[in-house]
Amino acid sequence: MKKLYILFFALVIGSYTYAQNSNYAKAKSNKENFERVVKAPVDIIVHKAGKGTIIDEGFEGASFPPANWTQVINNTSETWKMYDFDPYEGLQFASCAYDANIVQQDEYLVTPSMDFSLTTAPTLNFWFNGNKYWSVNPYDNCDLFIYASTDGGTSWSSALWSEEVDTTWGLFEWAEVTVDLSTYTGQSSVVIAFNYYGLDGAQFNVDAVLIEGTVGIEEVKIPVTFKLFPNPAKDYFNIKMNSQIEYIKIYNLIGKVILEKKVENNEIKLNTSDFEPGLYFLKIKTENGIVTRKVTVKK
C-alpha cells in the first residue's frame, strides 16, 4: 500500500512539473512572438529624385500658402485660404469662396517650381468639391481651372482641366481628378496653378495634391523603430516610433475610414472601445514617410 501512495504522488508531481514546464514554454513563446511584433524594426523607403521634384501636399501646415507655394490675388476679400470643415483627408484643405459683394475673382494657387528634365509621364492627382448649381448647371458663374507655366507664371497654358470636364461629381462631394502632365516632360521649370475664376459663383475646395512621375531616383531605406501594443487590442493600443508621427488613419476591411487623427508626436494611445471586433489597417504618416500596419480588435 505504501508503494502505491509513493507511485501516486510521483505521478501527480510529475504531471504538475510537466504542465508547469509546458505553460512556461508557451508563455515564453508568446512573449517572444509579442516582442517580435511589438519591437519589429521597419524600413521607410524614401525616393530621392534627381532633378525631378514630386509634390505631396495636404495643406496640413500652420501657414498658408504652404512653403514654396505662391498666390496671385486679384480679389483681396475672397481668395484661396486654408479651411478645416469636412476635408478629404487630414484636418485641412485649400478653399476659395465666392465674393458676396459680387466682385470679379481670378485667384491663383501655384505650386513650387518643379524640374521635369529627368521625369517621364508626370501626372497631377488631386481631390476637389464644389457647388455644381452655381458652376455648371443651371448657372455657370464660376470655374475651377488647372493651368501650367514654364516661365514662372508669366504666361499660362490653355486649361488642362476644369470642373466641367466630367460633371458626374456631386454637390460638395469629394471627387478625384488625374491630369496628364506628360507634355511638360523635359522641362526644367514647371508650375501648376489652381485657378478660381468667377463672379457671383460658389465655393471650390482642393485637397491631397500629388504630382508624381517616373524620375531618375535613388531609393533610400530609413530604418524606423516601430512598436504597436497590445495587439490584439481590446479598449486601446499604443504606437511608439523613433520618427515623429504626423497623422494616423484607421480603415476597416471594406476601406472605410474609422478614425483619423493629427498627432505631431512620436507616440500615441488610441481608444478602440467603440470599435467592432475585427481586423483594421493603419496608415501612419511620419516625417520620413508612410508606414502601414494591421491591428486586431477583440472584445
Q: Name, of 36-45, 135-144, 224-233, the range with top average pLDDT.
A: 135-144
The model carries a pTM of: 0.57
Q: How many CA atoms lie within 13 A of 255 on its CB side?
A: 0
Q: CA 224, CA 42: separation in Å to the nearest integer?
A: 5
List domains and CATH numbers for the chain: 49-218 (2.60.120.200), 225-299 (2.60.40.1930)
Note the pLDDT of residue 222: 65
Give residue for cell 515623429.
244
Q: Is the peptide bond before 65 cis (omega within 30 degrees of 0)?
A: yes
The dihedral region occupied by 246, where left means phi > 0, alpha psi between -120 and 50, and beta the remainder, is alpha
Is the pLDDT at 17 greater than 60, yes or no?
Answer: no
From CA 253, how far away is CA 37, in angstroms rounded? 21
> Please, where are the H alpha helices in the chain?
2-38, 132-135
Q: Using 50, 70 and 90 to split pLDDT, how confident is the model at 249?
A: very high
Q: Which of helix, strand or coil describes residue 150?
A: coil
**Beta carbons within 8 Å of 189's beta carbon, 6+ residues apart:** 113, 114, 115, 150, 151, 152
What tens digit of pLDDT does each residue of 250-296 get? 999 888 899 999 999 999 999 999 999 999 999 998 887 788 889 99
